[in-house]
Amino acid sequence: MKQKLIFTNIVGPAIDDLVESLGAPQAVVVADTNTAHFVLPILQNDSKAVASAKVITIKSGDANKNLESLTDLWKQLSDYEATRSTVVINLGGGVVSDMGGFAAATFKRGMRCINVPTTVLAAVDASVGGKTGINFAGYKNQIGTFTEPDAAVISSIFFNTLPPQEIMSGYAEMLKHALLENQEILDKLLNYNPVYPLLDTAGLLPLIEYSIGVKARIVEADLTEKGIRKALNLGHTAGHAFESIAYRRRSPIAHGYAVAWGLVVALVMSHLELGFPSDTLHSFASYVRKNYGVFDITCDDYPAIVEAMRHDKKNVTADNITFTLLEAVGKPQIDCVVSPEQIGAALDIYRDLMGL
């Protein structure tokens, strides 16, 4: 793994050390409208590199992760006469690191890049692993690269002002990593809630560090997603389909919540197809139901769900819909072909478990 991971709550000096060790003569901060307002001023006080950096602000929200914003980003890098040695510091959530990372990967064929995630989801997911890109022609992440940043600085100091839903959203990806790793860490996560009874970002940081370690090991084995990296897609096939159904109902759901519900569906399938233990399935489903609520579907939604799965680039091989499933906690199987009938059977049980 090329990417350096630094876990610290003393963020400014950590950034300065990195910029110096990269030999970067200048820095450019990419922030979104929120982080430019709330987070940037803190770091400008704490880091010489950030204080003297040019700041490029992009509009927040996934809808702005598009070619127009990217072109503006490239243009500003050109006007600033950035070079290959200039370091891009992505300060924000996944939209910032995806698009800032893609700009850094492609401007003059590649600049230096550091991710400073400001959400739990970005910390455990987008900031590590080198997926960069933009949405294009109606498809998510249609254009992009696999380019690991030089480093990520992971801190919990930015999480104190996040809404609880945002933190739980990131926690769902941590649950996924635990399912891919071992029972002990899974039990720990299922006996904990980072926002109840009190927001506990200090307790969250070591769990995040562990969680990123799981992802980093998988990415190291398969950066360009030709094999085992697909394990990270666990829960996302059903999750993306739920997101797409919710979008059509005009009541979008948070990505992490969709993943939490999608993980329940994946564990049901894992139980049916590969004998995943039923007690773990039940304790997982009850944690999700209690802490994420339920995503409401009826059997009338099944055809649309199957159709959405068929249009997801990651899980279609020839004409088959494929899933990442688990034989047991820590034992993923990628590319499992599941028929529409089997998907329907799994959704039936999901509804039972969710009390629908």
**Residues near its own copies, by CB under 8 A:** 67, 71, 74-75, 78-79, 83-84, 105-110, 131, 133, 136-139, 141-146, 224-225, 313
Rounded CA-CA distance 14/30 in Å is 17
Rounded CA-CA distance 131/143 in Å is 10
CA 51 vs CA 5, 75, 318: distances in Å: 22, 22, 51
Among candidate residues 7, 15, 21, 23, the one with its CA nearest the CA of residue 43: 15
Q: How far is the CB of 101 from its own copies (least distance, A)?
A: 12
Find out whether the peptide bond into 332 is cis, omega within 30 degrees of 0: no
**Tokens 């970002």 sit on residue:** 201
Q: Compare residues 279 and 319 and give the one whose CB is closer to its own copies.
A: 319
Q: Compare residues 34 and 83 and give the one whose CB is closer to its own copies.
A: 83
Q: Compare residues 104 and 180 and give the one whose CB is closer to its own copies.
A: 104
Q: How far is the CB of 146 from its own copies (least distance, A)?
A: 6
Q: How far is the CB of 185 from its own copies (least distance, A)?
A: 29
Q: How far is the CB of 139 from its own copies (least distance, A)?
A: 7
CA 352 vs CA 183, 278, 339, 345: distances in Å: 24, 14, 20, 11
Q: Compare residues 1 and 42 and give the one whose CB is closer to its own copies.
A: 1
Asked whether 307 and 262 are in contact (CB, 8 A), the reply is: no
CA 67 vs CA 102, 134, 201: distances in Å: 11, 7, 35
Q: Compare residues 66 and 333 and give the one whose CB is closer to its own copies.
A: 66
Q: How far is the CB of 128 from its own copies (least distance, A)?
A: 16
Q: Compare residues 135 and 201 and give the one whose CB is closer to its own copies.
A: 135
Q: What is the amino acid identity at position 205?
A: L
A 10 A CB-CB count for 47 gives 24
Q: How far is the CB of 313 from its own copies (least distance, A)?
A: 6
Q: How far is the CB of 319 from its own copies (least distance, A)?
A: 12
β-bridge mates for residue 57, sequence order: 31
β-bridge mates for residue 133, sequence order: 144
Rounded CA-CA distance 115/93 in Å is 9
Q: Compare residues 75 and 188 and give the one whose CB is closer to its own copies.
A: 75
